[in-house]
Structure formats: C-alpha cells, structure tokens
Structure 1
Amino acid sequence: MTFSIIGRCPETGQLGIAISSSSIAVGARCPWARAGVGAVSTQNITLPALGPQILDLLEHQHLEPDAALDKALTSNGWSQYRQVTVIDASGRIALFSGKESLGVHNAVKGEQCVAAGNLLSDVRVIEAMVAAFEVEPGQLADRLLAAMHAAMAAGGEAGPVHSAALKVVGDHTWPIIDLRVDWAEEDPIGQLDGLWQAYRPQMQDYLTRALNPTTAPSYGVPGDE
C-alpha cells in the first residue's frame, strides 16, 4: 500500500524522503529524517517508532545503518510485518522487507538512494524509481519527486494512491521542506509536486525569517510589516 524513496545529495549533504500510499496521511507516520544523521522510511504494517529509534541509534550510538536497523527491529518485535529503508549522512544504506510484506513488494539500493514498496503493480516499479533518481538533475527534492513520477509511470501500486509526502533536511535541526497531501481522490503525487513548485521560490525566505528576523521579507499579510 506504500512506495517510497530516500536519498542523499552528495553536494549539499541534504537527506530526504518522498513517499505515497493508498492510506490516508502517509506523511504523518512513515517518513523520518534528521539533519546530519540520516533518513528512514518505515512502511507496510507501519510502526512509526522505528524511525526515531533508528535515527537515535545512528546519532548517539554511532551504529552503521544495517546494525541500527537490525537492533530497532529486534527490540520491537513483529519484524516480519515491517518494511524499512535507511540512509545515513555518509550515504550508507540498509533495507529490510519482512516475510509478511504485503502483495508484490521490492526494495532496491541505488547510488545515494534506496527505494521500497509493497502492494505494487510490478516489482519493476521500484527499479524505475532508483533509475529516475540517479539520472535526474537539480535539487534533491526534484530528484525524489522524479522518482515518484517514474513509479507511477511504471504502474505504481496495485490500487489507487491517496496521500503523499516530501521531507528534506539540510543544515538546520528542522526540515527545510516538509510538504504533505494527506488525502486526494486522485494524483496526490501531482498535487505534492505542485506544492513543491509553489514552495520552492519561498524556501530561502522562510529560512531567513527563522535565522535573522531583521532581514525577513514581508509577504503583505495583515500584521506582517
């Protein structure tokens, strides 16, 4: 019921995730990212706790992704129902699909990325995501969304998708991009892309507003002078 890609930009060090699902509000449960640490997608029969636990293990115990993933899965149990992907700040990757992963499922490592999905129309959907990410130019967000569009072009899920999310972390403790479509009757990925195109020219302004309010641009709304 879900497919995702997590990736790293070797030039900026940004880490990010794009994800879509037939379920409502996938962005509330599945994508996790921490600046300078890593990114995690926890899906299938989702246990949201796996995301922050794996990031804590990467950051505080300095485990490699494979070890952090294994420790988190073991400590929580029911690993046969989980599908999890991990990338750390160095670009090292781990992936896991339990034997109870739903329907047609697959997980594939790529260059600075890893994609996974379940209840797919075809295992090649995930391969298409990795291939698209690897060749797409531009910002990390553009590359992640290109992978999502490639997934849909390759068949996507076995049924319709209804939610999508895009999260990217950079140099700050908060996400520099955190966009969600929690429910759409059709084309949540297209709607998510539209949100990104609207947010892209304002992204630096919001960083400026946070870091130096004296130079913050005005948006002309009441009380914003």
Structure 2
Amino acid sequence: MTFSVLGRDPVTGELGVGVASCVLAVGRAVPWGRAGVGVVVTQSQPRRGYGPHALAGLEAGVPVRTVLSTLLGRDSGAAGRQVAVLAGDGSVAVHTGDDCLATAGDRYGDGWSVQGNLLRSPGVLDAMADAWVRSAAPVAERLLTVLEAGEAAGGDLRGRQSASLLVVGGRRVAEPWDAVTVDLRVDHAENPLAQLRQLLAMQRAYEDGDSAALAELAPDSTRAVHAALDAARRGDLDGARAALAELRRNPEWERWLRSGAMAGRFPHLTQLLD
C-alpha cells in the first residue's frame, strides 16, 4: 500500500530512501538508514524490526542478500512483506511476498531499487525506474523525482496522504546520527509530494544561505530577517536596517540576532547591527 525508492549517489556515496503512500505518517515506520552502512524499506505489511536488524547485519559485514534472506527465514509473515535493502557498496536485495496486494512488484539495478504494492498499475514501477536511470541530480532531489514520476503514473491505488525523504552520508562514522543530511516528512496532506518538494527547497535555501528564497519560504516570523539579509546582499544597507528595525525593538529578538551574528550563521548580519 506504498511505493518507495532506495538509491545511492555514485559520486558522494550518500544513501537515501523516498516513500509515498495513502497512509498516515508513512515516514514513521517504512524508511531506515545508517550512514555508510545502508538504507532499508519495510512495507506492505511492515515489520519495523526489518530496518534495525538489516542495518545491524550490514554493519557487521554480512552480504545484503544474506541479510534479507536470514530475516525472511525467521518471519512467519514473510509472504505479506515487501522489503528492500541497499548496502553502502550499492548492492541490493529486494523481496515482494506473494501475499502483497496487487499490483505489487519491484525493479532494481546497481545502486538503486523501486518497489510498491496496491499500485494503480505496473507502469508505476516502470516510470519510477526510468526516472532514476535518467536523472543525474543529487540523491535527495533524484529520489523525489522518482516518487513524483510514480505518482504521475498512478501511484497508490487508494490515493495519497503522506511522504518521506531520508538521506544519510556515504561514510561510516562513530556517531551516525550526525550524518543524516536530509530527514523530511509530510504526515498528512492532500498533495504530500508537492509539500515535500517545498520542504527540500527550503532546506537547500537554508544550507546555501539563499536569503531571497527564504524571504518567501521561511515562516512569517523570520521573513523580515531574510528580507533584510537579501537587501544587504544587494548592497541596500539602509533598506536592510529598516527591515530589521521593528524586530530590534524587542530585546529578545535583538539578543537572537546578535547571537546569530556572533555565530556567523547569517552573512551580512554583523554590519546591519553595528
């Protein structure tokens, strides 16, 4: 009752999962990942344990196919599961059980897989696979493009409700929670993929210091800050100071702005507060 994509960026080694479904908060149970180790989806009749147990096996050096076959062999409900595992080296293992609701299936290649169940048609999987192969975008954007292609081809037979995007780093690190580069969810919406696209655009704007974009995308309460930073970027320091004037009358906002300037979080901010 879900469609998803796993992928590895051949340049950075980043690993990611994108999921969309007509269930509430699909991101709470389906996608799993650990930097440099692998990513997993467990869907159809999801069993959350597949995520952490598969990642533990990969981290211990067990081949991806053995990891998945071992977990399936221990599971009396395996016929109703749909599980995909992508290891850090790009190897893939996928299982679509015989009891998964039709239309169900998967497609995969080196460094990627797409899978779904209760789909409108097999063309959903074909469109997703084609979108992955054709795209050369960074992995988060590429995963989202694949989900959008699946939705355009019919998506989940029941409709749409939620979506999730998870990307982790390509190298193993001592504290893997610090190497989660994208973790975005839309838990309930009429068009969750459109909202997920907007969230990813907002994250990129924060990462790039794109004050012009943030003046449009950021919450209302902080748009004045980003508008001021954008004016300063364009050389309009008087306009930038005017944009901040109302906020600076509140001592707490003044303190927040100065702490941001001292931490170097916002370009041009220090000169606006002098």
Same fold flag (TM > 0.5): yes
- For 1:27, give the aligned amino acid: G
- For 2:120, give the aligned amino acid: S
Instruction: State the Cα RMSD in Å.
Output: 1.8
Counterpart of 1:217 (choices 242, 257, 265) is: 265
Partner of 2:15: 15
After TM superposition, give the deviation of residue 169 of structure 1 in Å.
Answer: 0.2
Equivalent residues of 2:92, 2:109 under 8 A apart: no
Residue 83 of structure 2 is aligned to residue 114 of structure 1: no
Aligned partners of 1:40, 1:7: CA distance in 2, in Å?
Answer: 10
Aligned length: 210
Partner of 2:66: 67
Q: Give SS of 2:115's match.
A: strand
Gap regions ≥5 residues in structure 2: 210-261, 270-274
Aligned partners of 1:110, 1:94: CA distance in 2, in Å?
Answer: 10
Partner of 1:210: none
Identity of aligned residues (%): 37
Deviations 1:100-150 (A, max 9, x none): 101211110034210000000001211211110111122101110110111
Q: Give SS of 1:138's match.
A: coil
TM-score, normalised to structure 1's length? 0.88
After TM superposition, give the deviation of residue 76 of structure 1 in Å.
Answer: 3.2
Q: Give SS of 1:53's match.
A: helix
Aligned partners of 2:119, 2:157: CA distance in 1, in Å?
Answer: 5
Moved more, 43-52 or 72-81: 72-81
After TM superposition, give the deviation of residue 202 of structure 1 in Å.
Answer: 2.1
Gap regions ≥5 residues in structure 1: 206-213, 221-225
Moved more, 70-79 or 140-149: 70-79
Equivalent residues of 2:38, 2:86 under 8 A apart: yes
- For 1:192, give the aligned amino acid: L
After TM superposition, give the deviation of residue 218 of structure 1 in Å.
Answer: 4.9
Are the structure 2 counterparts of residues 76 and 204 from structure 1 closer, same or farther at C-alpha, using a change threshold of 3 Å? farther
Aligned partners of 2:71, 2:64: CA distance in 1, in Å?
Answer: 11
After TM superposition, give the deviation of residue 216 of structure 1 in Å.
Answer: 5.2
Equivalent residues of 1:38, 1:88 under 8 A apart: yes
Aligned partners of 2:123, 2:64: CA distance in 1, in Å?
Answer: 25
Aligned partners of 2:7, 2:263: CA distance in 1, in Å?
Answer: 32
Q: Give SS of 1:12's match.
A: coil
Equivalent residues of 2:7, 2:15 under 8 A apart: yes
Aligned partners of 1:204, 1:70: CA distance in 2, in Å?
Answer: 42
Partner of 2:191: 187
- For 2:265, give the aligned amino acid: P
Are the structure 2 counterparts of residues 101 and 196 from structure 1 closer, same or farther at C-alpha, using a change threshold of 3 Å? same
Equivalent residues of 1:110, 1:134 under 8 A apart: no
Which of the two has greater strand per residue? Answer: 1
Aligned partners of 1:157, 1:107: CA distance in 2, in Å?
Answer: 14
